[in-house]
Amino acid sequence: MAISRRNALKIGVGASALAATTALTGCQTTAGASAAPAAASKPKMLGHHQIIVVGGGFGGLTVAKNLKAIDPKFDVLVIEKNETFMSCPFSNANLGKLEGINLGTFVFDYAKTVEKNGFGLLHSEVIAIDRKAKIVTTAKGMIGYDILVLSPGIEYNYKAQFPAWDDKKIAHIRRVAPGALIPGAEHVILERELMSMEEGNVIITIPSGKFRCPPAPFERASMIAAYMKKEGIAGKVIMLNETNEIAKGAAFKESWKELYGDMVEHIDFCKLVDVDPKAKKITFKQTTYKDKEDVEGTVTEKTLDYAVLNLIAYNKSHPVIEMAGLEVTPDAFGKVKMNGCSFRSLTDENIYAVGDVVGHGIPPSGQTANWAGKECAKEIAHRLHGKAFEMEVQTQTIKAGNVCFSMVGDQPEEAIMVLHDFSFNGKIITAKGSVPKDAKTGKFRGTATAKQTHEWYRGITSDLFS
């Protein structure tokens, strides 16, 4: 069994799938933008586009595609640093090695959507934004815009969480204990680490504050437990949570207890102190409280060995937001302050934002980034067509506007879900969440929900890539 895991690693199931899709995507299809590297000293001016979208993820890709669907004459350029699109949603199912799921399930190439929908795509990293001059500087050169849409997603904030770590240590930890909340190599590294482990504990750390997809670490714990159980790997999945919050908590706890017993352990109030990646040890301070009156609690420093560490560091808006100098919410995440329920930033009428960086109260997710991308495209189109944008959504409640599924079991596949309704009152967006139970079994998890998870994923990725 261990041999089969190693063999799978040797033949590089994940790596070859990634290489294949990377090779497919050679598109540098920006009209007027050359792929030639910019001179080191002064970036070269590559051209001008009516609308530039930074980030070809769930939000950005939706904006670009829908702008072109509304008006093919719109001149839209997406700037995306990765050559391939990698979906975070469903990536945990790959760690669970669910039947028929592999790296290719969540890696997509941009070629088809670019060709079919007719927007431009420049693969480069945005490194500066000059709002006054309306210029975006990329690693390949500078490009002017009339309207800028930002959907760059998140970044980790290791410095805030581990002030004593220098850049070298942060880079090393990022490589060997990836957070796997950002699309790209992190997911591949985590998968490889798991596939090569023979025994021992997998530790997942959960940060305090806002972070991308709050149920994701708990779904991941379930999927890793499913994999270890299936493969007969001796060990536990231990979650070190800086708080005591678990998104969809009752549903996850029910599933862990009934499917994995003692194999899955969740520990509250663990403040991480340090990681020794060579010795594979993590040190944390755990606070335990006797009762509700015990406000201070008792702090104990502990060190655990791990075989695999998924260190999810504090999250913040991607630095692209800071580059644009937009006003952000005062919390540590720093989301873009928006103009009411609109997708226009409060600071600059020519800059819009979608996805996880949006500062009004939409629950951030791939689903809502896709929805927001469509709304944002409509809003921009109205403006470019010289019409006042009627905020028709402002008085509505969007039923089940966000549906977030989490796979919890394998053999049979079972999943749980959380639904969020949005309501708009003109200035504020509020969302109400609920976690339904399976009507037949009376349990949170169900096989029908697992089927819906597959359908949802097929639907949203086909919306992005067709």
**Cis upstream peptide for 364 (omega within 30°):** no
∠ CA 138-314-400, nearest 5°, is 90
Whose Cβ is closer to ligand FAD: residue 10's or residue 432's?
Answer: 432
Strands (DSSP E) found in 158-236: 202-206
Contact (Cβ atoms closer than 8 angstroms) between residue 316 and residue 208: no
Among 8, 15, 22, 81, binds ligand FAD (CB under 6 A): 81
Give min distance, CB of 408 to ligand FAD, in A.
Answer: 12
Give min distance, CB of 152 to ligand FAD, in A.
Answer: 4
Contact (Cβ atoms closer than 8 angstroms) between residue 313 and residue 158: yes
Give min distance, CB of 436 to ligand FAD, in A.
Answer: 16
Whose Cβ is closer to ligand FAD: residue 263's or residue 460's?
Answer: 460
Give min distance, CB of 59 to ligand FAD, in A.
Answer: 3
Give min distance, CB of 88 to ligand FAD, in A.
Answer: 3
Burial class (CB in 10 A: 0-12, 13-18, 19+), 197: buried
Angle between helices 185-196 and 2-10 (to 10 degrees): 150
Q: Which two tokens stand for residue 278?
A: 């060579």
Among 107, 320, 324, 393, binds ligand FAD (CB under 6 A): 320
Give min distance, CB of 77 to ligand FAD, in A.
Answer: 12
Length of the chain: 466
Residue range at the interface with ligand FAD (CB under 6 A); choices 40-48, 93-101, 360-368, 437-445: 360-368
Residues 134-153: x where in contact with ligand FAD by CB under 6 A, - otherwise, as a string: -----------------xxx
Tell how strand 414-424 and strand 429-434 pair up.
antiparallel
43 lies in the site for ligand FAD, by CB under 6 A: no
Contact (Cβ atoms closer than 8 angstroms) between residue 44 and residue 38: yes
Report helix, strand and coil shares of the chain as percent, to nearest 5: 35, 30, 40
96 lies in the site for ligand FAD, by CB under 6 A: no
* Closest alpha carbon to 32 in 20, 44, 42, 19: 44
Residue range at the interface with ligand FAD (CB under 6 A); choices 227-235, 246-254, 295-303, 359-367: 359-367
363-382 residues in contact with ligand FAD (CB under 6 A) are 364-367, 369
Distance CA 244, CA 230 (A): 29
Give min distance, CB of 458 to ligand FAD, in A.
Answer: 13
Q: Whose CB is nearest to ligand FAD?
A: 57
126 lies in the site for ligand FAD, by CB under 6 A: yes
Give min distance, CB of 382 to ligand FAD, in A.
Answer: 22
DSSP 257: I
Q: Which two tokens stand for residue 33?
A: 């933008």
Tell how strand 107-109 and strand 135-138 pair up.
unpaired
Whose Cβ is closer to ligand FAD: residue 54's or residue 269's?
Answer: 54
Give min distance, CB of 25 to ligand FAD, in A.
Answer: 13
Q: Which two tokens stand for residue 175?
A: 């490589």
* Phi, psi (rounded to 5 degrees) for 293: -75, -20
Residue range at the interface with ligand FAD (CB under 6 A); choices 85-93, 166-174, 410-418, 431-439: 85-93
461's CB contacts (< 8 A; 6+ apart) are 87, 108
Contact (Cβ atoms closer than 8 angstroms) between residue 389 and residue 206: no
Residue range at the interface with ligand FAD (CB under 6 A); choices 103-111, 209-217, 275-283, 336-344: 209-217
Residues 398-417: x where in contact with ligand FAD by CB under 6 A, - otherwise, as a string: ------xx------------
235-264 residues in contact with ligand FAD (CB under 6 A) are none
For residue 116, the tally of other CB atoms under 10 A from its CB is 12
Distance CA 350, CA 454 (A): 38
Among 14, 43, 57, 120, binds ligand FAD (CB under 6 A): 57
Among 93, 181, 259, 263, binds ligand FAD (CB under 6 A): 181
Whose Cβ is closer to ligand FAD: residue 218's or residue 269's?
Answer: 218
DSSP 125: -
Give min distance, CB of 140 to ligand FAD, in A.
Answer: 11
Among 52, 67, 88, 149, binds ligand FAD (CB under 6 A): 88
Give min distance, CB of 1 to ligand FAD, in A.
Answer: 26
**Dihedral, CA atoms, 34, 38, 43, 48, nearest 10 degrees?**
10
Interacting residues toward ligand FAD by CB under 6 A? 54-60, 79-82, 88-89, 91-92, 125-126, 151-153, 181, 183, 212-213, 216, 318, 320, 355-356, 364-367, 369, 404-405
